Structure 1
């Protein structure tokens, strides 16, 4: 069975909406069914699946998912938004920019794009609409800014990439800081331009700003202190070497529970079991996809797919610049039709040897890869952040996608800089 036929079957499975975990599992055993001499029999595939998820770094995934859900239930995003609004709420585009900054901070808590969109959007979109901002614009803003959740560390896709490529997860986390800030800055520039040209309801904005300002800085800071401390504890423990990413994920669960139960009292003990059930329901499908993708990657390796794809690309594109351009285009397309996790698990073993052969640092490429796929959160047909935003506001996905296009262009500008200026990624890792 040829590698080309494998990918054709994969594309057909995706086109007819077969669950991706099922497609990957079937494709892992298919070559042996066609050719019994092929070494990847059912037993090997099963061992690969079990061995692939029996990994200490992978434990960080359910922990970050759980802590993100706890923070969402605990209303942490509201605390963050209030403190940023206190400082810039009276400026042009102040509140949209405060939303982007809130997504940056919340991304450093949840590690998930959809979780960031849901937690921040459920709280900020009604506020923006009540203050005169267009509902579609507000929804698009949160949907795109929610993509920062997978770039600002800790990031679930970074963990998956590190596990698959062998790159240091800690370095990926550190390297993601400046790219995340750059993307956030690009989004803020467009938000400012939009509000400057379209105008804002200054009367409503001033009333909202004075309502927050009247509370006084000490009260606003006191209310938001534990929320602001969350990324400091999580990232500080990783960067200082006190804890590994997996250990930091466990710390984040304990910390989020403590502040939600005792500091903010926004959760009760009876809410813990439903939160755990929700996290299990969220992680279980990802775990099966993860296991199937590991087995599928193992089969592709035995079929020498990475070498064949590398030979096909390098036979046409020979320079570092051309290879990066082609891979960026490929990843942007993949992000449109495939979720981030499976895309990383499938493509990393294929693409990493290609980029390292032309002199690209694996950590740099990992961040380029995740930024590309993050754009897929807001591009149809998959565009999960679009669907999250639509579920929050009732705005059709197509309308959100249209309004999101200028934000996506801003994202792409940052992507070009991140791709071709490696120091943006690697400066803090050295």
Structure 2
């Protein structure tokens, strides 16, 4: 049986190395046992049943709704309103405007729940502005790609929804646990921006001063009133969850309604005739997840039938004799995994497999979920296949590998934050 596990995982890896989509790789791993006559193996009809059966989980309804809300607010110029508010207060400081971009990613992540969506929405607005004001375009592209990863840490987070669905861990607790880690990562990234911009020649003080003066001519009242509706969005959605007014799934619905009202009637940046196009874009973003979830479930089920989780727990218990070492091994695994696989399949496949091991070691499962998500958030910007590299490249016209190389210092900052989050669990659990 252990040999079959190796064959299945080997087939999965070979498919990925050959450039096949993740869904094909998982389908191949799920079907192989049926060809070798394994009792209870997943056949094609079982895969089809799994596709429809996975839709019965009501928690997953939050995913398309958060994607739709994020796209509505992207079209509605919510990111620009947020950015102007932050730039008004820090635009005259060293590294102030890059820090404002990071703050905008933090707040926009609390709207979209997605790293690529955050990078696309904030980058589409801030990249041309920052380059026009004299910042090096490679630095700006790397900053947006890295800061976009905050979109999966700050709740509401789509990876948190997937983790909760895969492990039956409370989604509300996952959202609560994500706050401090997200702000820690954002704070360290802003500190990096300040240190980076202190070197002479990296900021055009004259152009920045002119831009800051133009922004201040609008007055605090106008800037704040213009941005208050954008600032209220995450407060209303997350406040409603923590106050017990609605569930996370209902909060996703409230996010869509709020974003529509603000974009159509307040900012008037979206017209009713734009909605079909926005919904079509949202459906395209959701479609890969709809394919990945059932196939990942089937793939994971096959590995459970082959007792892969038990074998993994036994291997870890044999070769790693302490919790810190086990957690470090998990960090390395997910750090590497994030370079090649998107967040959704990585969580859905690996979380159930590693869960018994974490329970055996007494690791808090909410803390473990945050660790996984942070690792994969770093993977979003890690070469060679970090998705945010390609999203930002399409905006900046800078090659993905060039962005990746420029991101190394920022990835190092995120790695420091990851180690703190891993070995200081209270950062995740203090409010639980």
TM-score of the pair, normalised by structure 1: 0.98
Whether the 8 Å CA contact 1:48–1:298 is kept in 2: the answer is no
Structure 1 Cα separation of the partners of residues 361 and 156 of structure 2: 28
RMSD: 1.1
Whether the 8 Å CA contact 2:380–2:389 is kept in 1: the answer is yes
Residue 163 of structure 1 aligns with which residue?
Answer: 165
Residue 246 of structure 1 aligns with which residue?
Answer: 249
Structure 2 Cα separation of the partners of residues 127 and 349 of structure 1: 44
Structure 1 Cα separation of the partners of residues 37 and 396 of structure 2: 52
> What are the ranges of 5 or more consecutive residues in structure 2 without an aligned counterpart?
none
Pick aligned residue for 2:368 from 354, 365, 369: 365
1:179 equivalent in alignment to 2:178? no
Residue 135 of structure 2 aligns with which residue?
Answer: 133
Structure 2 Cα separation of the partners of residues 99 and 107 of structure 1: 12
> What are the ranges of 5 or more consecutive residues in structure 1 without an aligned counterpart?
none
Deviations 1:120-142 (A, max 9, x none): 00100111111111000001001
Residue 306 of structure 1 aligns with which residue?
Answer: 309
Residue 328 of structure 1 aligns with which residue?
Answer: 331
Structure 1 Cα separation of the partners of residues 38 and 218 of structure 2: 73
Pick aligned residue for 2:272 from 269, 272, 278: 269
Pick aligned residue for 2:125 from 108, 123, 126: 123
- What does 1:53-68 align with in structure 2 at a 5 Å threshold? 53-68=55-70
Count of residues in Structure 1 that have an aligned counterpart in Structure 2: 429
- What does 1:19-418 align with in structure 2 at a 5 Å threshold? 19-198=21-200, 199-418=202-421
Q: 1:83, CA displacement in angstroms?
A: 0.4
Deviations 1:33-69 (A, max 9, x none): 2115334344443333322232100000000001111
Whether the 8 Å CA contact 1:310–1:353 is kept in 2: the answer is yes
Deviations 1:351-404 (A, max 9, x none): 121122111100000000000010011111211101111100111111111111
Runs of 4+ in 1 over 4 A off after TM superposition: none
Q: 1:238, CA displacement in angstroms?
A: 1.0
Whether the 8 Å CA contact 1:46–1:295 is kept in 2: the answer is no
TM-score of the pair, normalised by structure 2: 0.97
Whether the 8 Å CA contact 1:140–1:400 is kept in 2: the answer is yes
